[in-house]
């Protein structure tokens, strides 16, 4: 080995540094934990399930914790990206593909074939992997585990353990630590524990992760969900009202003050996983202009789909009993159209100039939605909408967007597309927040005058595929809909060029041709022309 | 026919000039480079070796950018310039006619005639080829058991960080008795010494290279230190004792050269229609206390911005504003605004504050007669360029700056602030002074 010279002259793939012996032991510990889960998956009937589940989750977490302590605490504080593009797992190498395939397969089984995980149907006992989680589920809520409980537990363990790793990695950076602490808290509390406790208190209530806001939480306005809430008195009513207030009141206020980061990289579960377990893959997002174009079309199409789907769904069940509730189909559709028109008119009035040629696309999008809603209203029957069975739209959305896009592709493809491909290309919630962030928010990433050296660390580490450098090297602030405010571009910048800030709206977008540092007269001449 | 602007060199200076000329005009533009096909950011070469990025990530523009903006790229090595016939001759044998020529060929690493300086395994760290060379000779710590770096400047410490990232032991020879203390005041320079050693780098202060010894195959075997005669075995020697203009190919032409290509404030050489910008340009005298040759990223960019105006009919002098710069020493970021010299000049004094964790400090230079604020060096604390630029223009005094320091803070949110601490130290110093 010692005489091996890397003759490839490759600038991309020299040998990655070996991990230390302690890290190898940590890996072994983690793998034993995974092995227990795998054995359970293949129907090993462990005698004391509680013990083995504790052991499995404990070993996995312990492995990650020991590994990260060895990786980061043995070094001085600072940026820890050495060898990221040499390691097979984080540079789309063999390990990257293997992990990608395993994750994808797991998601496909989870969403479409839960019986292979051991889900007992028609009252039958759970077997396999799911039965291993029964003791924990019974402890928390008294009911046997489901595939979603297994998924939720593993998801939470991943965010907590890799969150710890991330906090160590950025132990010089308090923004990163607080942000990570926040997603760990919201995942453990809001997504995992509170819904279980809510079930204990009132087992008729539908599962509700309070931090999951429509349209990310696309099922909250489903008929079964709404009925579930409404049939549970005040608490149910309060919950559904909270769901409505979340998107129409809380979200706009917080996004105005802090940008969409308050949600995407401080609260959201999808974001939480991307920022912790997905951190090693953030550099894999495509920074090409073509990817940005695709992103804009895709994410807004999903948004339109989700709005129309939700309206159609509510519209359908409003039709059944129009007499006992003031909200009739006609009133509802008018309200929706009125609201959308108000938003559209407001944007066109206040921000027409800023939008430039995008205003045209915005207008097209708006009129498409309105047309769809009108067509729906005038062609819809009791059972059919758009001449298809009324539930079909909802099913299609749940299947293609809710499961395949957000789960299978969004997470399964972490090692291939980077950690935020769902957030970037698909999430309708991110689209709404981003729209607001771009137009009505105090948030921006400020560029520090003329200090940028165009090195590209910022762009490379942007999980949302923003070419941050393109702005920084022009001395231009970064005001982009997709920015989730993770702050890593600012952290990795070797020259202190980038700062996430909430400041006044004025001068937030500052296109410059000639940067600070050059002749003052020339700057005036060129920049203000 | 459209006027043909030919730019030699596809670094930041040449590319900026080309971009701005394109914005302002419809001229034909050709960029010539022997180094790479496309523009890349030289400052990021280190991150490729460290595995933070791949080479393609150091390219600020996608490959379609050039065609779309009608900027022709030619790969070739200019061997000489015939200014009478307005023609470039390439080492490859072909030639290219120009109407206006911009020389933007940057720098090359200094070599001071050390014995063995051209052996295999000896390299600078400037060009892409240097990086390829390093990858060949120092892919890992098994092939390269030790590397010696000669020259304690910005590139030297970057090279040390690079090798360190692959666990290759480094001996770092620094001529001065403290790291970069020709530029940095002693408090800062000494803090960086300690930081380098904390990274387990064998820092040898006040040591010069005597010679580089060869093995039987013409490869580096060891080096000898001038002062002690000590022989240090190594497989790679990095020569990072500064850079100088890369203009050997011009020496035979009619273009006037000194250390660099001599230019006036309009960046014009002595030959009409020939200009020089960036690291290779030498002003007849330094502007506003700057050096005649400035091998800095942003000055190259600014010269490109300025020259594009002149070439497109808006003749304008190169007139850089207040001095600023930045760098990163391993984990410690450094920024400077205005002038802080290693030792205070006449009627100047320094106020120095250092945090107890030994990774953050600032030095403020002021005029002892007028109390005017002259400049600041900051380590481990980010500052806002615009704020200091304004304060320097407004000629604020040092009290004002110290009392308003928090306005200039550019650290990420939730970071600890040190302004109160700094103010306390400042007031204390005034009382004892």
Q: Which residues fall within 8 angstroms of residue B50, CB to CB, at 6 or more apart?
A: A81, A82, A83, B161, B162, B165, B166
**Are B129 and B226 found together in one domain?**
yes
Contacts of A79 in chain B (CB under 8 A): 52, 331
Asked if the structure places residue A424 within a domain, the reply is no
Closest alpha carbon to A466 in A494, A500, A504: A500
**B45 and B77 belong to one structural domain:** yes
B54 touches chain A (CB under 8 A): yes
Are B368 and B224 in the same domain?
no
Q: What is the CA radius of gyration of chain A?
A: 25
Query: Touching check for B197 and chain A: CB below 8 Å?
Result: no
pLDDT digits (tens, 9 = 90+) for A261-295: 999 999 999 999 999 999 999 999 999 999 999 99
Claim to verify: residue B84 and residue B162 sit in the same structural domain: no
Nearest-CB residue to B297 (from A7, A11, A453) = A453
Q: Above 80 in pLDDT, residue B368?
A: yes
Domain end residue (candidates: B261, B280, B311): B311
DSSP 8-state code for residue A206 = P
- Give A9's pLDDT tier (boundaries 50, 70, 90): very low
In which band, very low, low, confident or very high, does the pLDDT at A13 lie, cut at 50, 70 and 90?
low
Of B55, B60, B415, the CB nearest to A12: B55
Could you list the residue range(s) of the whole structural domain that residue B271 is in?
A: 4-108+244-311
Tell me: pLDDT of B324 over 90.
yes
Q: What residues form DSSP beta bridges with B81?
A: B88
Interface membership of B194 toward A (CB under 8 Å): no
* B52 interfaces chain A, CB cutoff of 8 Å: yes
**Domain stops at, among A184, A201, A218:** A201
| B97 and B13 fall within a common domain | yes
Domain-located, residue A477: yes
Q: Are residues B232 and B263 in the same domain?
A: no
Domain count across chain B: 3
Q: How many domains does chain A have?
A: 2
Q: Tell me whether residue A126 is in a domain.
A: yes
Q: What stretch of H or E contains B398?
A: helix B398-403
Query: What's the whole-number mean pLDDT along residues A332-350?
Result: 90
Residue of B nearest to A18 (CA): B166
**Residue A496 within any structural domain of the chain:** yes
Q: Which of residues 461-480 of A touch B (CB under 8 A)?
A: 469-470, 473
Regarding whether B103 and B251 lie in a shared domain, the answer is: yes
Residue A529 — very low, low, confident or very high, per pLDDT cuts 50/70/90? low
Q: How far is B299 from chain A (nearest CA, A)?
A: 8
Task: Give the pLDDT of residue B202.
Answer: 97
Position B261 confidence tier, pLDDT thresholds 50, 70, 90: very high
- Decide if B91 is inside a domain: yes
Q: Which of residues 355-394 of B touch A (CB under 8 A)?
A: 382-386, 389, 393
Same domain, B57 and B206: no
Tell me what the mean pLDDT of segment B264-277 comes to: 97
Share of chain B above pLDDT 90, in %: 97
Which of B241, B271, B292 lies at the terminal end of a domain, its last residue?
A: B241
Q: Which of A76, A90, A496 to mutate to test the interface with B (most CBs of B within 10 A)?
A: A496
In angstroms, what separates the C-alpha of B307 from chain A's closest C-alpha?
A: 11
Of the three residues A180, A201, A222, the one that is the final residue of a domain is A201
Residues B216-255: pLDDT tens digits?
999 999 999 999 999 999 999 999 999 999 999 999 999 9
Lowest mean pLDDT among A37-51, B23-37, B55-69: A37-51
Residue B18 CA, chain-centre distance (Å), reads 21
| Reported ipTM | 0.95
Among A442-456, A502-516, B272-286, which stretch is predicted with the lowest mean pLDDT? A502-516
Whether residue B158 sits in one domain with residue B14: no
Residue A456 structural domain: 442-527
Judged by CB atoms closer than 8 Å, whether chains meet at A519 and B320 is answered as yes
Give the integer Cα–Cα distance in Å for B284 and B278: 14
Question: What mean pLDDT do residues A225-244 have?
Answer: 86
**pLDDT, tens digit, for every residue of B139-164?**
999 999 999 999 999 999 999 999 99
Q: What pLDDT is stored for residue A406 in this prediction?
A: 86
Residue B300 pLDDT class (50, 70, 90 cuts): very high
Same domain, B137 and B76: no
Q: Is B199 on the interface with A (CB under 8 A)?
A: yes
Q: Of B243, B248, B276, nearest to B261 (Cα)? A: B276
B228: which 2 tokens?
A: 């002690």
Query: Is B44 strand, coil or helix?
Result: helix
**Residue A86 and residue A266: Cα distance in Å, rounded?**
30
Helix (H), strand (E) at residue B337: strand B332-338
**Within-domain flag for B266:** yes
| pLDDT tens, residue by residue, B406-433 | 999 999 999 999 999 999 999 998 766 5
Domain C-terminal end among B196, B219, B241? B241
Nearest-CA distance B183 → chain A (Å):
18
Domain annotation covers residue B174: yes
DSSP string, B180-214: TTTTS-HHHHHHHHHHHHHTT-EEEET--EEEEEE
Looking at A201, A226, A250, the residue that finishes a domain is A201
Determine the Cα–Cα distance for residues A5 and B229; give it in Å rounded to an integer. Answer: 31
Q: State how far the Cα of A125 lies from the Cα of A140, in Å rounded to an integer.
A: 18
CA distance B163 to B144: 10
Residue A124 inside a domain? The answer is: yes
- Model confidence at A6: pLDDT above 70: no
Q: Which of residues 390-419 of B touch A (CB under 8 A)?
A: 393, 410-416
Backbone torsion region of residue B324, taken as left when φ is above 0, otherwise alpha when ψ lies between -120 and 50, otherwise beta: beta
Q: B378: domain CATH number?
A: 3.50.50.60
B180 assigned to some structural domain: yes
| Chosen from B44, B46, B50, B51 to mutate, greatest number of chain A CBs within 10 A | B51
Q: What is the pLDDT of residue B433?
A: 54
Asked if the model's pLDDT at residue A203 lies above 80, the reply is no
Report whether B174 contacts B192 (CB < 8 A).
Answer: no
Cis peptide, bond prior to residue A479, ω within 30 of zero: no
Q: What is the pLDDT of residue A4?
A: 41
Pick from A488, A490, A509, A505: which is nearest to A265 by CA? Answer: A488
Kindly report the CA angle at B113 between B109 and B118, in degrees rounded to 5?
70
CA distance B14 to B19: 9
Assigned domain for A377 exists: no
Question: Confidence band (pLDDT; 50, 70, 90) for A359?
Answer: confident
CATH number at residue A490: 3.30.70.20
* Judgement on whether residues B232 and B133 belong to the same structural domain of the protein: yes
Please give the average per-residue pLDDT across B78-107, as a whole number: 96
The verdict on residue B405 lying in a domain is yes
Task: Calculate mean pLDDT across residues B1-25.
Answer: 96
Side by side, the strands of the sheet bearing B78-82 are B78-82, B87-90, B95-97
B132, two tokens:
């390829």
Inside any domain, residue A459:
yes
Distances (CA, A) of B167 to A17, B170, B199: 8, 9, 10
Residue A168 in any domain: the answer is yes
Regarding whether B232 and B141 lie in a shared domain, the answer is yes
């Amino acid at each position: 080995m010692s005489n091996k010279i890397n003759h490839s002259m490759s600038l991309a793939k020299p040998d990655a540094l070996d991990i230390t012996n302690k890290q190898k032991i940590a890996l072994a510990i983690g793998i034993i934990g995974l092995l227990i889960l795998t054995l359970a998956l293949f129907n090993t009937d462990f005698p004391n399930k509680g013990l083995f589940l504790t052991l499995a989750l404990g070993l996995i977490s312990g492995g990650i914790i020991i590994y990260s302590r060895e990786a980061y605490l043995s070094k001085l504080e600072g940026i820890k990206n050495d060898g990221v593009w040499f390691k097979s797992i984080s540079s789309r190498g063999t390990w990257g593909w293997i992990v990608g395939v395993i994750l994808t397969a797991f998601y496909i089984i989870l969403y479409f074939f839960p019986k292979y995980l051991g889900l007992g149907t028609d009252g039958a006992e759970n077997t396999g992997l799911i039965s291993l989680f029964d003791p924990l589920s019974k402890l928390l809520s008294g009911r046997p585990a489901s595939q979603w409980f297994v998924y939720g537990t593993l998801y939470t363990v991943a965010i907590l353990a890799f969150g710890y790793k991330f906090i160590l990695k950025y132990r010089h950076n308090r923004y990163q630590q607080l942000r990570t602490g926040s997603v760990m808290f919201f995942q453990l509390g809001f997504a995992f524990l509170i819904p279980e406790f809510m079930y204990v208190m009132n087992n008729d209530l539908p599962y509700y992760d309070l931090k999951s806001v429509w349209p990310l939480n696309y099922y909250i306005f489903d008929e079964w969900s709404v009925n579930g809430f409404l049939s549970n008195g005040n608490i149910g009513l309060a919950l559904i009202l909270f769901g409505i207030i979340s998107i129409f009141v809380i979200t706009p206020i917080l996004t105005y003050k802090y940008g969409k980061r308050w949600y995407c990289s401080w609260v959201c579960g999808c974001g939480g996983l991307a920022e912790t377990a997905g951190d090693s893959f953030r550099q894999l997002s495509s920074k090409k202009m073509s990817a940005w174009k695709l992103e804009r079309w895709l994410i807004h199409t999903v948004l339109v789909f989700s709005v129309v789907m939700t309206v159609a769904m509510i519209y359908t069940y409003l039709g059944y009993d129009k007499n006992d509730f003031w909200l009739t189909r006609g009133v509802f559709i008018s309200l929706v159209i009125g609201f959308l028109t108000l938003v559209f008119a407001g944007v066109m009035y206040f921000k027409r100039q800023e939008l430039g040629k995008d205003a045209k696309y915005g207008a097209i999008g708006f009129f498409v939605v309105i047309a769809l809603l009108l067509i729906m209203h005038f062609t819809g029957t009791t059972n059919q909408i758009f001449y298809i069975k009324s539930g079909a739209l909802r099913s299609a959305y749940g299947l293609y967007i809710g499961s395949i896009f957000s789960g299978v592709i969004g997470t399964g493809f972490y090692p291939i597309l980077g950690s935020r491909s769902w957030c970037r290309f698909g999430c309708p919630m991110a689209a709404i927040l981003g729209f607001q962030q771009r137009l009505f928010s105090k948030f921006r990433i400020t560029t520090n005058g003329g200090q940028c050296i165009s090195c590209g660390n910022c762009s490379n580490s942007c999980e949302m595929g923003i070419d941050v450098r393109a702005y920084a090297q022009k001395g231009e602030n970064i005001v982009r809909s997709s920015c989730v405010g993770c702050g890593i571009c600012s952290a990795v910048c070797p020259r202190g060029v980038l700062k996430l800030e909430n400041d006044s709206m004025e001068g937030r977008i500052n296109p410059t041709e000639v940067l600070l540092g050059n002749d003052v007269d020339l700057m005036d001449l060129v920049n203000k022309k | 026919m459209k006027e043909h602007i030919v730019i030699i060199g596809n670094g930041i200076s040449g590319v900026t000039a080309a971009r701005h000329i394109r914005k302002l005009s419809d001229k034909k533009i050709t960029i010539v480079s022997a180094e790479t096909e496309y523009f890349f950011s030289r400052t990021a070469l280190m991150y490729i070796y460290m595995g933070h990025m791949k080479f393609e990530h150091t390219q600020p523009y996608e490959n379609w950018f050039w065609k779309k903006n009608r900027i022709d790229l030619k790969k070739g090595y200019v061997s000489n310039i015939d200014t009478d016939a307005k023609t470039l001759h390439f080492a490859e044998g072909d030639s290219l006619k120009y109407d206006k020529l911009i020389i933007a060929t940057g720098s090359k690493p200094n070599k001071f005639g050390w014995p063995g300086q051209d052996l295999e395994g000896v390299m600078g760290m400037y060009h892409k080829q240097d990086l390829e060379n390093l990858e060949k000779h120092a892919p890992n710590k098994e092939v390269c058991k030790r590397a010696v770096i000669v020259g304690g400047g910005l590139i030297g410490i970057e090279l040390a960080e690079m090798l360190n990232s692959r666990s290759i032991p480094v001996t770092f020879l620094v001529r001065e008795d403290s790291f970069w203390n020709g530029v940095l005041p002693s408090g800062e320079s000494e803090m960086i010494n300690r930081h380098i050693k904390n990274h387990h780098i064998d820092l040898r202060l006040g040591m010069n290279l005597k010679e580089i010894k060869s093995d039987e195959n013409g490869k580096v075997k060891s080096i000898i230190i001038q002062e002690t005669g000590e022989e240090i075995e190594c497989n790679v020697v990095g020569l990072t004792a500064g850079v100088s203009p890369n203009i050997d190919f011009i020496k035979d032409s009619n273009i006037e050269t000194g250390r660099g290509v001599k230019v006036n404030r309009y960046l014009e050489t002595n030959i009409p229609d020939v200009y020089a910008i960036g690291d290779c340009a030498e002003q007849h005298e330094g502007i506003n206390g700057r050096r005649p040759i400035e091998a800095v990223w942003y000055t190259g960019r600014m010269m490109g911005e300025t020259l594009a105006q002149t070439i497109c009919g808006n003749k304008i002098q190169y007139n850089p504003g207040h001095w600023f710069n930045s760098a990163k020493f391993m984990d410690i970021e450094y920024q400077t605004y205005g002038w802080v010299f290693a030792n205070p000049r006449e009627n100047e004094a320094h106020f120095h504050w250092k945090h107890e964790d030994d990774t953050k400090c600032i030095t403020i230079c002021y005029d002892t007669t007028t109390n005017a604020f002259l400049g600041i060096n900051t380590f481990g604390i980010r500052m806002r360029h615009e704020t200091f630029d304004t304060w320097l223009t407004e000629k604020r005094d040092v009290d004002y700056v110290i009392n308003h320091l928090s306005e200039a803070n550019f650290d990420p949110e939730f970071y600890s602030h040190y302004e109160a601490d700094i103010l306390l130290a400042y007031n204390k110093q005034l009382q004892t002074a």
